[in-house]
Amino acid sequence: MEEYLILMRLDLITKEAQPSPEQMQEYMKIYNDWVGSIAAQNRYIGGKGLSTEGKVIRSKDMITDGPYAEIKESLAGFIMIKARDLDDAVNIAKGCPILEGDNSVEVRKVVAVHGEG
């Protein structure tokens, strides 16, 4: 098994695109079911959600507020999983519930810095 990072990008900026607290609760349930399903297959390694607060540093004196976004989506969270190969990882990532909306998911293989990789 190889390790893959699944990066989730959402529109965190446009006011109209933000869910209500009730919607948020519903989304979280669906999201947790998806992660629970990965964990039940013993393929979950770890993951975190990210706050909308942040800074972007381009050079020492060019710092801007907010998460980095060239497009309207910005990084909202990530999980690490175990998968046989990239296709397998993509298949798992396709189940990510944020894809029900106009969002995107990126899958990247983790390359070991030390040891075999």
- Least distance (Å) from other proteins to the CB of residue 62? 37
Pick the closer one to other proteins by CB: 35 or 69. 35
Binding to other proteins, residues 16-35 (CB under 8 A): 29, 32-33, 35
Q: Does 13 bind other proteins (CB under 8 A)?
A: no
Q: Does 39 bind other proteins (CB under 8 A)?
A: yes
Pick the closer one to other proteins by CB: 12 or 93. 93
Classify residue 90 by its DSSP letter. H
Pick the closer one to other proteins by CB: 1 or 56. 1
Residues 50, 67 contacting (CB under 8 angstroms): yes
């999201």: which residue's tokens? Answer: 31
d(CA 59, CA 75): 20
| Strand stretches in the chain, DSSP E | 2-11, 44-49, 55-59, 62-65, 73-83, 104-109
Binding to other proteins, residues 43-72 (CB under 8 A): 44, 47
- Least distance (Å) from other proteins to the CB of residue 67? 24
- Least distance (Å) from other proteins to the CB of residue 106? 21
Strands 62-65 and 2-11: unpaired
Amino acid at position 49, single letter = G
